[in-house]
Chains A and B, each alone.
Chain A
Amino acid sequence: MFIIPCPYCGDRDQSEYAYGGQAHVARPANPENLSDAEWAEFVFFRDNPKGPFAERWNHASGCRRWFNVIRSTATDRILAVYKMGAPRPELDLDRPATPCGEVAGSGNDAVKLVSADAGTGAAR
């Protein structure tokens, strides 16, 4: 369980929130003018990136407000929180894809070890 900073209430445990999927997927203004494929794109298709992802959360067991979060799906680290309607903030996205700095793939043996010459030290 991670902690999500609700823009209205402050830091709360993840268990108080409901997930709402990808953010910034606006409902088309004139669905009747869309082709089946275009409509399906809105209804059925969502991104699933590894790394920073703008997504919607609802403080369901709190203020019940919806807001947007940019979360790294690789680390669960929350990079930004902003209210509905606010533009997506610009982020420095040049950051490790996993806590251990692994770029591609996930869970392979190599990521659990630092290489002998990597040294120690905290990377927070």
Chain B
Amino acid sequence: MSSSEGTAPGTSLDFRTDGTAAAPADRQQMRAAARQPYRREAGGRVDRSKPVNFTFDGKPVSGYAGDTIASALLANGIHMIARGFKYHRPRGVASAGSDDPAGLVQIGSDAAVTDPNTRASEQEIYAGLEVKSQNAWPSLGFDVGAINDVLHQFLPSGFYYKTFMGPPGSWMGFEKIIRAAAGLGVAPKAPDPDHYDHINHHCEVLVVGGGPAGLSAARAAARSGARVVLCEETAELGGWLLSADPDTRIEGLSPVDWIASVEAELRDHPEVRVLTRTCAYGYYAENQVNLWEKVVDHQMPADRDPRLPRQRNWRIRAREVVLATGATERPLLFPGNDRPGILLASAALTFAERYGVLIGRKIAVVTNNDTGYDAACRLKSAGAGVVAVIDQRATAGPGVAERASSLGIQVRREAGIVATKGRKRISALEVRRLGLDGTPSGPSETIACDALAVAGGFSPNVALFSQSRGQLRYEEAIGAFVPGRSVQRERSAGAANGTFDLAGCLAAGEVAGAEATTAAGFAAAAQATPDVVDPSVSPGVLDPRTVLPTARAGRTFVDTQNDVTVKDLRLAVQEGYHSVEHAKRYTTTGMGTDQGKTVNVNAFAVLADKQTASLPQIGTTTFRQPYKPVTFGAVAGAHTKGHFHPRRTTAMHDWHVQNGAVFETVGDWLRPWVYPQVGESPEAALQREVRAARTEIGVLDASTLGKIDIRGKDARTFLNRVYTNAWSKLAPGRCRYGLMLNEDGMVFDDGVTTCLADDHFHMTTTTGGAARVLAWLEDYLQTEWPDLDVRLTSVTEQWAVVSLTGPRTPELMADLVEDIDPSPDAFPFMSWQTASIDGLPARVFRISFTGGLSYEINVPASYGLWLWQKVMDKGAAYGITPYGTEAMHLLRAEAGFIIVGQDTDGTMTPIDLRMDKLVSETKGDFIGKRSLSRSDTVRTDRRQLVGLLTEDPSTVLTEGAHVIETAHEPAPPVPMLGHVTSSYYSPTLARSIAFAAVKSGGARLGETVYVTRHDGGAPIKATITELDFLAQKEAGRV
């Protein structure tokens, strides 16, 4: 907020951080007024007692509280605020709202909170706001990229696709250069420090748009007692009423007083919520409408309540919706129609009435309908000089032109603009008479001006209606699309529905509000037709010619954000892009951040003109969410950092943290990966943990394993159907390993299931597969075998599991448990017993995932940390060492155990895993059984899981590396034998070990293969072996 830089000599700009004027107030106000030569003497909704100082490209600018960047800059006579996207032509404010195509600026300079592509006509100013122009270097006034404008003949639409062709991949290089040359603002580079919120809300009636139709709809709905939400995109309710003729009266009140009375009534209803600065940006299925509320963006950072989110994303589910989204004025197509100083006539009126700013002192107006005359007269009454009205038509509505003439405004009929002049702001027009076919004739007249207001007719704002999947209808009389047939429970009212007169809008709003309320099941209050005095002029008969011959050649812009000209669109048609959807994508017309709000109808007209078709024949492009760009922050809401994907932690998590564990995510769980000691590398820690587990005692937190409690008299039958092996004879007290297949025969999970009683089993699944397995089992039980008496309960989080492995575990277990004999002789492998630990009953399982002597102790989760600490304390005497998931992986690989999801990939059958013994031939059908005899699954050349031992014991293969037949990699395509699935350096074997899926692997034991390197070096020689490396070591084969 430094103000010293860029301050003109002799002025002292005393920026205060509270946004108020420094004393003496009158002097400050006088200064501010002196710096705003285009501010009207009075009028507008800005607060002239509160000057607001901000900067534009480093230079100080003054406005008033209530100004947008656009209105404040225009008050200072600054029109040129940006450079075009492609040709870098000067661009200015063209509209007063969210429809402005090219008046985009960057705000803020902080790497974390700067906002690119901010619409100057939307962002409200606050003290100290930093505004910068975009896409200009080194400066807005002198921009090197403007050379593109000189070269424009060589840069037609599709130029990139045609020019930057070359060998494969070269586009990647070109693209970087093109992206840098064309562009908009600069994205923030640091994490967003603001917080955002999501709110789900239900209501009977949602009214979108706070203009006359929306206000009367909301009022009618509110009076019925229904829950109503009214949202308005701008800072204030009122919509077009805030720009209306000051002589307008509704129910005897001025526009501002009427708005205030309706707002007061609405805010008084307890069931009504009024949201301003809130844009309905997406209409989704079943009347879900998303709103984007900017909560504090209009406030200076120091004033923002830290408890409030910066922005909110509202997801509203409405019984009924009223769309009162108003209309957007269309620009006219004439050569040079993109200069700064050229604005929509409606925007000129909004700046004059709502913000008290004149867009110029010598304003020209060009029009194709009667509203242009009205704008000219009203701008004149507001204090501007109006030099001429140029009407494309031969005749205007009765008395309209005469009223303008009587105010001293010159009128040119059957005339069009053939050229404009002025570099940073329009300075003159060339006007010629238009013949019947629109061809210019006669001499050219030059009209000097400092601004041009363009009145091209109004297009109802049908974006949300169309997003709701409603069907549009082309309305010849207004030259635009209107809502045709509704699909969801919504109705459009007012200008959004093609009703442009105030009385009509108010009445339509009232009807829509009452209708929506009734449809939602509420009794609508009695309706009254408001008494309206409306001096405004209706559009009358529009000039049906959108594309005049002068626009077909030369530099007539359709889309000023993406720099698309009439010529570009015509070229696209010529090159075969006849469909409006294709031409749009080829030229990018309407694809900017403005979504073509002002330009689309004109673009369709150009395409229709070139194809000599009617506009409805050409059709329209698809309106998609979002209606305007929504920040990623609002979309993400609070779902960032730890809330993005919440992690599950075990009962022992705090101990792991305190003892230096490095974590990895498995499923949603955080699991200790290794426990490096101070100064120890993860690899060294891994080797130490594995050695301890093989020589003394290793301890693993195995609580994350999926656990499903299975009960019911048909539990055994059920297990027989879901596992590949037989469960009929598993006695209570015994455990068994099982594989689960999908119906396609492929392994999808494995685990140990224990028989607790004849009708009671304890199933374990992989950590990541727990939820999937439970859902899959439930599916079969509910839909295929509802006759089975089986109940499933997930007990994953109910049990904490401490897994002990290593030769000294029996000693520790004897020390730890009471009332059972834990020695391996008395407590056989693959069985379980209830033991008591300090009186706490625990389930102890003699199962092993390491191949070593192991015990898994299950206690209620609330005792997990207690048990872990007790085990660590008692285990210290036996050299106990905690190990993480990486050591677990290595230990199980030494023992030849697979990990589903690492050694399998959804294409491996039990036969491919060479686990044929686990497939029962005799027990009857089970899930996936039939697939194991399909012609494809019985192929003998399928990949099978085998061990690999490298010739050089110190070489560790890369997981995922390709297995090939030859010592040298042949030219592509390289015949593949398979790939490495797991690979480690085993401290127990003092050499590297690996698993690989290799074609016909089981038949190739002992054969030599080669494994490629990711760095392109010579393939590594290896021998195919069995998987169980510990057994091979004992047998002396390794």
A residues contacting B by CB (< 8 A) are 1-3, 18, 20, 26-27, 30-32, 34, 36, 39-40, 42-44, 56, 58, 60, 64-66, 75-76, 84-85, 99-101, 107, 109-114, 116, 118, 120-124
Q: Is the beta-carbon distance between B473 and A110 smaller than 8 angstroms?
A: no
Measured CB to CB, the residues of B under 8 A from A are 284-286, 288, 466, 469-474, 481, 483-489, 491, 579-581, 616, 618-620, 622, 743-744, 775, 778-779, 782-784, 786, 925, 929-931, 934-935
CB of B620 within 8 A of CB of A58, answer no
Q: Which residues of A contact B488 (CB under 8 A)?
A: 124
What 19 additional pairs, Cβ within 8 angstroms, besides A58-B775, A124-B487? A1-B286, A30-B925, A34-B930, A36-B935, A43-B743, A56-B783, A60-B775, A99-B487, A100-B471, A109-B581, A109-B619, A113-B616, A114-B484, A114-B485, A116-B616, A118-B473, A120-B473, A123-B485, A123-B487
Chain A positions within 8 Å of B775 at CB level: 18, 58, 60
Q: Which of B469, B489, B619, B744 is within 8 Å of A113, CB to CB?
A: B619
Complex contact A99–B743 (CB within 8 A): no
Is B484 touching A40 in the complex (CB atoms < 8 A)? no
Given contacts A18-B775, A100-B471, is CB(A31)–CB(B929) below 8 Å?
yes
Q: Which residue of B lies closest to A114 (CB)?
A: B484
Please give me the 10 A-B residue pairs with the lowest Cβ-Cβ distance, nearest first.
A31-B930, A109-B619, A114-B484, A99-B487, A122-B486, A2-B285, A99-B469, A66-B782, A100-B471, A114-B471
B399 to chain A, nearest CB (A): 32
With A1-B285, A64-B778, A124-B489: A43-B931 Cβ-Cβ less than 8 Å: yes
Using CB atoms, name the residue of chain B closest to A38. Answer: B930
Chain B contacts of A75 at CB under 8 A?
Answer: 487
Contact, CB under 8 Å: B485 / A118:
yes
Nearest CB on B from A124, distance (A)? 7
* Cβ contact within 8 Å between B783 and A66: yes
Contacts of A116 on B, CB cut-off 8 Å? Answer: 473-474, 616
Q: Tell me whether B620 and A112 are in contact (CB under 8 A).
A: yes
Q: Quick one: closest A residue to B742, CB to CB?
A: A43
What chain A residues lie within 8 Å of B288 (beta carbons)? 1
Q: Is the CB of A39 within 8 A of B931?
A: yes
What residues of chain A lie closer than 8 Å to B620, measured between beta carbons? 109, 112-113
Looking at the assembled complex, report how far the CB atom of A67 sits from the nearest CB atom of chain B, in whole angstroms. 9
Q: How far is the CB of A17 from chain B (nearest CB, A)?
A: 12
Closest to A100 in B: B471
Q: List B contacts of A85 (CB < 8 A).
A: 786
Contacting residue for A66 out of B491, B743, B779, B935, CB 8 A: B779
| A111 partner residues in chain B, CB cutoff 8 A | 471
Is B473 in contact with A113, judged by CB distance below 8 angstroms?
A: yes
Distance A118 CA – B485 CA, assembled complex (angstroms)? 9
* CA A27 to CA B579, docked complex, whole Å: 47
**Which residues does chain B contribute within 8 Å of A44, judged by CB atoms?**
744
B600 to chain A, nearest CB (A): 12
What are 7 A-B contacts with C-beta separation under 8 Å? A18-B775, A27-B784, A31-B925, A32-B930, A39-B930, A58-B775, A120-B484
Q: Are A100 and B930 in contact (CB under 8 A)?
A: no
In the complex formed, the residue of B with least CB distance to A109 is B619
Looking at B469, B483, B786, the one whose CB has the most chain A CB atoms below 10 A away is B469
Q: How far does the Cβ of A101 sit from chain B's closest Cβ, in whole Å?
A: 8
A103 smallest CB distance to B (angstroms): 14
Is B491 within 8 A of A32, CB to CB?
no
Task: Given the known inter-chain contacts A114-B472, A116-B474, A124-B486, please indicate yes or no for A3 contacting B934, CB distance below 8 A.
Answer: no
Instruction: With both chains docked as a complex, state the minimum distance between the C-beta of B796 and any C-beta of chain A, in angstroms.
Output: 15
Max chain A Cβ within 10 angstroms of own Cβ: one of B288, B473, B618, B934 = B473
CA–CA, A32 and B922, complex, Å: 13
A36 to chain B, nearest CB (A): 5
Whether the pair A1, B784 counts as a contact (CB closer than 8 A) is: no
Q: Are B579 and A109 in contact (CB under 8 A)?
A: yes
Checking B284, B469, B579 against A1 with a beta-carbon cut-off of 8 angstroms, the contacting residue is B284
CB distance from A33 to the nearest CB of B (A): 9
A101, B931: Cα distance in complex, Å: 43
Known: A1-B285, A36-B935, A42-B743. A65 touches B487 (CB 8 A): no
Q: Shortest Cβ distance from B187 into chain A, in angstroms?
A: 29
B193 CB, min distance to chain A CBs, angstroms: 29
In the bound complex, how far is the Cα of B795 from the Cα of A49, in angstroms?
Answer: 40
- Asked whether A123 lies within 8 Å of B782 as measured between CB atoms, the reply is no
Q: What chain B residues lie within 8 Å of A65 (beta carbons)?
A: 782
Q: With the chains together, A36 CA to B620 CA distance in Å?
A: 50
Min CB gap B240→A, angstroms:
23
Decide if B485 touches A58 in the complex (CB within 8 Å).
no
Q: How far is the CA of A76 from the CA of B286 in the complex (A)?
A: 9
Please, how many angstroms separate the alpha-carbon atoms of A92 and B579 in the complex?
36
Separation of A109 and B616 alpha carbons in the complex (Å):
10
B782 touches A84 (CB 8 A): yes
Can you name the residue of chain A whose Cβ is closest to the Cβ of B469?
A99
CB distance from A122 to the nearest CB of B (A): 4
Residues from chain B with Cβ under 8 Å of A42 in the complex: 743
Contacts of B743 in A (CB 8 A): 27, 42-43
Q: Which residues of B contact A30 (CB under 8 A)?
A: 925
Point out the residues of chain A lying under 8 angstroms from B474, CB to CB: 113, 116
Shortest B777–chain A CB gap in Å is 11
Q: A32-B925, A65-B782, A100-B471 are in contact. Are A113 and B484 (CB under 8 A)?
A: yes
User: Complex formed: what's the CA distance from A32 to B775 in Å?
Assistant: 26
Contact of B783 among A2, A18, A84 (CB under 8 A): A84
Nearest B residue to A20 via CB reads: B779
Q: List chain A residues, Cβ under 8 A from B782.
A: 65-66, 84
- Given the interface contacts A20-B779, A109-B580, A118-B484, does A100 sit within 8 Å of B619 by beta carbon? no
When C-beta atoms are compared, the residue in chain A nearest to B579 turns out to be A109
For residue B486, which residues in chain A have a CB less than 8 angstroms away from its CB? 121-124
Looking at the assembled complex, report how far the CB atom of A16 sits from the nearest CB atom of chain B, in whole angstroms.
Answer: 13
**Which of A84, A99, A110 has most chain B Cβ within 10 Å?**
A99
Q: Which residues of A contact B470 (CB under 8 A)?
A: 99
Question: How far, in whole Å, are A120 and B935 apart by their CA atoms in the complex?
Answer: 59
A58 CB contact (under 8 Å) in B285, B483, B581, B779: B779
A26 CA to B744 CA, complexed, in Å: 15
B580 nearest in chain A by CB position:
A109
When chains A and B are docked, how far (Å) is the Cα of A27 from the Cα of B487? 39
Residues of chain A within 8 A (CB-CB) of B484 are 113-114, 118, 120
User: B285 — which chain A residues lie within 8 A by C-beta?
Assistant: 1-2, 76
Give chain B residues whose Cβ lies under 8 Å from the Cβ of A1.
284-286, 288
Question: CB-CB < 8 A to B925: which residues of A?
Answer: 30-32
Q: Contact check: which of A56, A100, A120, A121 meets B469 at CB < 8 Å?
A: A100
Residues in chain B near residue A27, CB distance under 8 A: 743, 784
Kindly report which residue of chain B lies nearest to residue A76, judged by CB atoms.
Answer: B285
Which residues on the B side are within 8 Å of A56 (C-beta)? 783
| Bound form: Cα–Cα A24–B930 in Å | 20
> Which residues of B have CB within 8 Å of A26?
784
Residue of B nearest to A111 (CB): B471
Give A14's nearest chain B residue, CB to CB.
Answer: B285
User: What A residues does B491 contact at CB under 8 A?
Assistant: 122
The CA of A19 and the CA of B775, in the complex, are separated in Å by 12
Residues of A within 8 A of B469 (CB): 99-100
Asked if B489 and A112 make an inter-chain contact with CB atoms under 8 angstroms apart, the answer reads no
Whole-angstrom distance from the CB of B969 to the nearest CB of chain A? 36
Bound together, the chains give a CA A65 to CA B779 distance in angstroms of 9
Residues of A contacting B779 in the complex (Cβ-Cβ under 8 angstroms): 20, 58, 66
Residues in B neighbouring A43, C-beta threshold 8 A: 743-744, 931
Within the complex, the shortest CB–CB distance from A64 to chain B, in Å, comes to 6
A39 pairs with B934, CB closer than 8 A: yes
List A contacts of B284 (CB < 8 A). 1
Q: Give Cα A113 to B485, complex, Å.
A: 9
- B485 in contact with A110 (CB, 8 Å): no
Q: Which residues of A contact B622 (CB under 8 A)?
A: 107, 112
Contacts of B483 in A (CB 8 A): 120
- Distance in Å: Cβ of A50 to nearest Cβ of chain B: 15
Asked if B744 and A122 make an inter-chain contact with CB atoms under 8 angstroms apart, the answer reads no
CA distance A20 to B782 in the complex (A): 12
Chain B's nearest CB lies how many Å from the CB of A5? 11
